[in-house]
A and B are shown apart, each in its own frame.
Chain A
């Protein structure tokens, strides 16, 4: 019977595998390290891994960050210490179990020297400890949840760093802008149930209250909701001056379009965050988006310097389009950090093989000081926050996606 064949075959295969797995491997290396050592034989590639959201509806975030890394590799000539740089990666799905699975898969691959990721903070919560248990460091370009670099995060996160800003900062800047520049006295927020949006809205509310304004209502929707008019109608009843909705493109587009159609919200100011900071948002929201504000990392050439302009040119040439999201420069900087750290701690032996001690690599990363990256000058603190957080507030001038140019359209207006 078919079943028996299958079962028998499986049993035999596993028995063989078991028998042969108990033969140990021998090795002798010039580098010792309390956690472990990666050996890259001469001529073999040096492997860096990413764990990003590269599949599913939010894939643009992951693809964008991956491209940042790829351009960084190109800028390094594709080689590090004489070894070609090999980039492999896993999709992490923007949820906890996806992050855990991706991290587990990467952690099993001992050839990986360092990892870059994740995109979504919920992935990093289970994922980073798994990677660190295998001795792998990971630098995140887009996790913004404060708790990942909080003092009480625990030793499991010792291998975790990030080049993205902390949401505590973004929410604060947005609230300060609203209160001090726009002179808002009443505001409402909408979040979409994701930890990122909810956290950011929470910080905004806290700061705004401290600055003396009132929050008329804090609403929530589901990211798949399309009809926002009822919830906007409810918000309208409180007569806010501003609505802050730090959500993603699809839902954000609906809110923007429909806000003007709801009675009572004709004069209200709209403000979003970096989750909507993309030309795709202009497609979703259309003309009603003109005049709205965004809080987002400062991507203007003034802030980032001419190197960013070069980056944009390279990106256009390699991929045929403008960057898809806001975190590519952070990914570039993460790669830069890792390359610098590897160069610092790697040792070559007489045969030309390279050895990298894992703890040494981790320490070198945490010791990063004044590294000039795309996003600014990177210095890592004890808990892994390396970003030079420049958050700006922008105002949208035109709804034409072809005219998307952070700094000009949307125009940076604060600070």
Chain B
């Protein structure tokens, strides 16, 4: 191969390449990549050392940070499930999934408010919360199914960028539609008396709301995993994501499977919405945008198309956002490290993608040409 042509040679002179010395093999790019990895690892090590040796933060603080990260991360994980499932089945990024999350949480607010005012929320907290969750999940599902039917189904066979733009448009539309319907201010979920306060397990503090979020998410993720692996519909979903045409040939109703995929992903997001609202209380029309992006990052981190990967990615991302700035940046003397928490998250994402281009747990299926 002639080295003279930077764009590559034409095949007309296909000669057997001569043995190149190791110096030539050291391409600029590989060098750069190694330098990048080393730099990041150095930052991590020096920063961690600096923080730990400064000793400003005792053990319980780290435990607290990890717990906060897990709670936030489980919300991301639940939303990420929707992204990853739709991607697995349809091969498209549902940019509007953050808005699906928002629609459930926002709509369920009115139910929660009514329940709180009538006192049911305090007297029968479990039932009330379940009602709120059901409303949220139903709304999210309705929005997602409508979205699929109106915006995505006609574009099923279009080249990949077309549904992406349609999804972006749908995202804007949903945000401002809900703004128009419910108003541009925010609403605050009522306090649930039974969930105030904290528990201490094995010396680790955990807020009650956070415990509920963690447990609920884990249960839902397990449920989803079982559903996808064991049930008939779940198998159909996996078949369609593996090869749509062959699945259709085998008698699977692809349209129905797609609708079910959207619906299940949306239900997860709706549940995430209620959990989010329990912890953070504020809901408003723009609340889905940032968690949507974070959840998408989590899904990619874990390996897009991979359900356990989405869960892992979400939790991992949550912990990195919570612990990372103090652990890495504070030790380097960087001021206001939490302002840069997204920098850490995205750098970590890129690192993971360099080491493992298909995410931590990899693509669910055999590595097809990406």
Residues of A within 8 A of B (CB): 56-57, 59-60, 193, 218-222, 224, 226-227, 229-231, 233-234, 236-238, 249-250, 253-254, 257, 261-263, 280, 283-284, 286-287
Contact B280 A229 (CB under 8 A): no
Name the A residues within 8 Å of B326 (CB-CB).
230, 233-234
Apart from A229-B68, A253-B281, A262-B64, 7 more pairs, CB < 8 Å? A230-B338, A233-B68, A233-B326, A238-B56, A253-B188, A254-B280, A280-B185
Task: Verify if B187 is at the interface (C-beta below 8 Å from A).
Answer: yes
Measured in the bound complex, the distance between the Cα atoms of B198 and A238 in whole Å is 23
> B60 touches which one: A219, A254, A263 (CB < 8 A)?
A263
**A56: nearest chain-B partner, CB-CB:** B184
**Which of B243-251, B282-290, B308-316 is near enough to bind chain A?**
B282-290
Instruction: Tell whether, in the assembled complex, residue B57 and residue A237 are in contact, meaning their CB atoms are under 8 Å apart.
Output: yes
CB of A64 to closest CB in B, whole Å: 12
Q: Shortest CB–CB separation between residue B340 and chain A, in angstroms?
A: 9
**Bound-state Cα–Cα, A13 to B242, Å:** 56
Query: In the complex, how many angstroms separate the beta carbon of A209 from the nearest chain B beta carbon?
Result: 15
A231–B68 contact, CB under 8 A? Answer: no
A286 near B207: Cβ-Cβ < 8 Å = no
Assess A284 versus B188: contact at CB under 8 Å? Given A227-B280, A233-B68: yes
B178 interfacial contact with A, CB 8 Å: no
CA distance A222 to B341 in the complex (A): 10
State whether A221 touches B338 (Cβ < 8 A): yes
B339 near A193 (CB under 8 angstroms)? Answer: yes
Q: In the complex, what's the smallest C-beta–C-beta distance from A217 to chain B, in angstroms?
A: 8
Contact: B282 with A284, CB < 8 Å? Answer: yes
Question: Which residues from B are CB-within-8-Å of A238?
Answer: 56
Alpha-carbon gap, A56 to B185, bound state (A): 10
How far does the alpha carbon of A283 sit from the alpha carbon of B281 in the complex, in Å? Answer: 10
Beyond A227-B68, A284-B188, whether A263 also contacts B339 by CB under 8 A is no
Q: Is B45 an interface residue (CB 8 A)?
A: no
Q: How far apart sit A238 and B72, CA to CA, in the bound complex (Å)?
A: 24
Question: Contact at B187–A263, with CB atoms within 8 Å?
Answer: no
B8 to chain A, nearest CB (A): 37
Most buried by A among B188, B286, B323, B342: B188
A-B residue pairs, 6 tightest by C-beta: A220-B336, A220-B339, A231-B338, A230-B322, A229-B68, A283-B188
Q: Which of A227, A231, A234, A236 has the largest number of chain B CB atoms within 10 A? A: A227
Known A227-B68, A234-B338; contact A59-B61, beta-carbon cutoff 8 A: no
Q: List 21 A-B contacts (CB under 8 A).
A: A57-B284, A219-B338, A219-B339, A220-B336, A222-B339, A227-B322, A229-B64, A229-B68, A230-B68, A230-B322, A233-B64, A233-B68, A234-B326, A237-B61, A249-B186, A250-B284, A263-B61, A263-B205, A283-B187, A283-B188, A284-B186
Assess the B186–A233 pair: CB atoms within 8 A: no
Secondary structure of the B side of the interface? helix
Q: Which residues of the other chain, A, contact B56 by a CB distance below 8 angstroms?
A: 237-238
B69 on the A face (CB < 8 A) = yes
Write the chain B residue with the least CB distance to A221: B338
Give Cα A303 to B340, complex, Å.
42
Within 8 A of A (CB), among B40-65: 56-57, 60-61, 64-65
Checking B186, B207, B336, B338 against A283 with a beta-carbon cut-off of 8 angstroms, the contacting residue is B186
B369 to chain A, nearest CB (A): 37
Chain A proximity mask over B221-238: 1 for CB below 8 Å, otherwise 0: 000000000000000000
- Are A60 and B339 touching (Cβ within 8 A)? no
Closest B residue to A401 by beta carbon equals B188
Give Cα distance in the complex from A63 to B276, angstroms: 30
CB-nearest residue of chain B to A192: B339
CB distance from B202 to the nearest CB of A (A): 16
Binary A-proximity of B268-286 (CB < 8 A = 1, otherwise 0)? 0000000010001110101
**Does B265 belong to the interface (CB within 8 Å)?**
no
Cα separation A289 to B192 with both chains bound (whole Å): 17
In angstroms, Cα B56 to Cα A318, docked, is: 56
CB distance from B231 to the nearest CB of A (A): 34
- Point out the residues of chain B lying under 8 angstroms from A224, CB to CB: 286, 289-290
With CB as the reference atom, state the residue of chain B lying closest to A58: B184
Q: How many Å lie between the Cα of A372 and that of B185 in the bound state? A: 34
* B314-357 Cβ-contact flags toward A at 8 Å (1 or 0): 00000001110110001000011111011000000000000000
- Report how far A243 CA is from B323 CA in the complex, Å: 21
B240 to chain A, nearest CB (A): 35
- Output the least CB separation between B1 and chain A (Å): 45
Distance of B219 from chain A, by nearest CB (Å): 22
| Interchain nearest-CB distance for A230 vs B (Å) | 4
Question: Does B122 have its Cβ within 8 Å of any Cβ on chain A?
Answer: no
Task: Specify which of B61, B187, B321 lies most central, judged by the most chain A CB atoms within 10 Å of its CB.
Answer: B61
Bound-state Cα–Cα, A407 to B205, Å: 39
> In the complex, what residues of B have CB within 8 A of residue A231's CB?
325, 338
In the assembled complex, which residues on chain A have CB atoms less than 8 Å from the CB atom of B184? 56-57, 59
Q: For residue B287, which residue of chain A has the nearest CB?
A: A226
Q: Using Cβ atoms and an 8 Å threshold, which residues of chain A touch B335?
A: 218
Q: How far is the CA of A274 from the CA of B60 in the complex (A)?
A: 35
B321 touches A253 (CB 8 A): no
Tell me, rounded to whole Å, the shortest Cβ–Cβ distance linking B170 to chain A.
20
The chain A residue with its CB closest to the CB of B338 is A231
Bound: A230/B330 CA distance, A: 13
How many angstroms from the CA of A60 to the CA of B323 in the assembled complex?
Answer: 35
**Cα-based distance from A227 to B330 in the complex (angstroms):** 19
On whether the beta carbons of B338 and A57 are closer than 8 Å, the reply is: no
Do B338 and A263 touch across chains, with their CB atoms under 8 A apart?
no
Interface centre among A56, A59, A193, A229 (most CB of B within 10 A): A229
A227 to B341, CA, bound (A): 12
Q: Which of A56, A218, A237, A250 contacts B282 (CB 8 A)?
A: A250
Q: Is the CB of B61 within 8 A of A257?
A: no
Whether the pair A230, B57 counts as a contact (CB closer than 8 A) is: no
- A231 to B339: give the CA distance in the assembly, Å: 9
Task: Count chain B CB atoms within 10 A of each CB in A59, A220, A222, A230 and give the residue with the most.
Answer: A230
Whether B336 pairs with A218 at a CB distance below 8 angstroms is yes
Contact residues in A for B57 (Cβ distance below 8 Å): 234, 237
Given the known A-B contacts A57-B284, A230-B322, A287-B191, are A263 and B186 also in contact in the complex, defined by CB atoms under 8 Å? no
